[in-house]
Amino acid sequence: MELCIAHLFPELLNLYGDGGNIICMQKRCEWRDISVQVNPVHCGDKVDFTHTDIIFVGGGTDREQKIVCGELLAAKQQLRDYVEAGGVLLAVCGGYQLLGHNYLLGNELVEGVGVIDLKTERGEGRLIGNVMIESAICEMPIVGYENHGGRTYLGDCEPLGKVTSAGGYGNNGQDGYEGVHYKNVIGTYLHGPLLPKNPQVCDYLLKTALSRRYGSDFAFPELDDTVENEANLYMQERLRDNVVN
Ligand code: GLN
């Protein structure tokens, strides 16, 4: 079996090790004898997601987001078709914000691709720290690190999860929700990178992508996640001890 991953704008959107999510997907496939091809998409490239199984887009500063925004808008229709057809997509922070309708930065409106019904606006101060959420996509709590000035408000779509009492701000620091889960798209504020400490989230994405390509009947061996789970538990403990970073 094989999977094809499109990594959008790796040089511009790679805050807090987001590119590690690609390495994690590659390794967890390699350990299962699934071959992976990663296609970086750079500014100016013509995009074609016909043979793409997973799209990944990381986070970036407001400046970098503004640079890629025009590029994403040029690929808007392809992205919309891909998402509506059930394509798997993981977007982190700045990339997550750009999937929505727009990002209001003071009196400047940065247009998003609008493939998901959400919008973001810059608030007072930044929402920074470790975060733990509970999500229906996996049993283990999802842990990560957030650092964003934008506050995201969901429209007609479901959050990825709920911020736990252990801590974190999530989408906007008000409604207690984090991220978005729309069709096979996951958007989240969680950096870290996200997937190495949350192997169940990684496997959720891989399994969804494999079943799209190969149907529901394929071998997906369990891996020994002792180290990954220890990292997850370590984060949980730090949160419970109220350690911010
Ligand atoms: N620039 C965005 C914000 O501050 C996203 C930052 C990020 O990707 N961490 O809200």
- CA distances, 177 to each of 61, 131, 201 (Å): 22, 11, 17
Separation CA 180–CA 116 (nearest Å): 9
| 240 against 16, higher pLDDT | 16
Catalytic residue (choose from 7, 148, 181, 191): 191
Residue with the smallest CA separation from ligand 1 atom 5 is 94
pLDDT above 70 for 49 = yes
Query: Is the shortest distance between the CB of 149 and ligand 1 below 6 Å?
Result: yes
- Active-site hit among 4, 29, 93, 202: 93
Q: What is the ipTM of this complex?
A: 0.94
> Is 93 noted as a catalytic residue in this protein?
yes
The preferred substitution site among 16, 65, 126, 188 for testing ligand 1, maximizing ligand atoms within 8 Å of CB, is 65
| Local structure of residue 16 (DSSP, 8 states) | G
Q: Is the CB of 121 under 6 A from ligand 1?
A: no
> Phi/psi of residue 93, each to 5°?
45, -105
Which amino acid makes up residue 146?
E
- Contacts of residue 70, defined as CB under 8 A and 6 or more positions apart, other chains included, come to none
Residue 58 has what pLDDT? Answer: 97
Among 62, 64, 118, 189, name the best residue to mutate to test ligand 1's pocket (greatest count of ligand atoms within 8 A of Cβ): 62
- How confident is the model at residue 240, as a pLDDT? 82
pLDDT tens per residue, range 59-109: 999 999 999 999 999 999 999 999 999 999 999 999 999 999 999 999 999
Structure tokens at 202: 């990684």
CA neighbor of 113 nearest in space, from 77, 162, 137, 156: 77
Residue 198 near residue 142 (C-beta atoms within 8 A): yes
Name which residue leads in pLDDT, 165 or 172.
172
Helix extents (H) in 85-198:
94-98, 194-197
Percent with pLDDT over 90 in the chain: 94
Strands (E), the chain: 2-8, 35-41, 54-57, 88-92, 102-105, 108-111, 118-135, 142-154, 161-163, 177-178, 180-182, 185-188
Read off the pLDDT of each residue in 221-231 and give the average, rounded to a whole number.
97
Residue 245 has pLDDT above 60, yes or no: no
Rounded to whole angstroms, the Cα distance separating 241 from 29 reads 34
Please work out whether the CB of residue 165 comes within 6 Å of at least one atom of ligand 1. Answer: no
Neighbours of 18 (CB within 10 A): 28
Residue 242, pLDDT > 80, answer no
- Band the pLDDT of 243: cuts 50, 70, 90: low
Please state, for a pLDDT cut of 70, what percent of the chain lies above it. 98
Long-range contact pairs involving 237-241 (C-beta distance under 8 Å, separation at least 24): 238/130, 239/130, 239/131, 239/132, 239/143, 239/166, 239/167, 239/168, 240/166
Tokens of 16: 């807090």
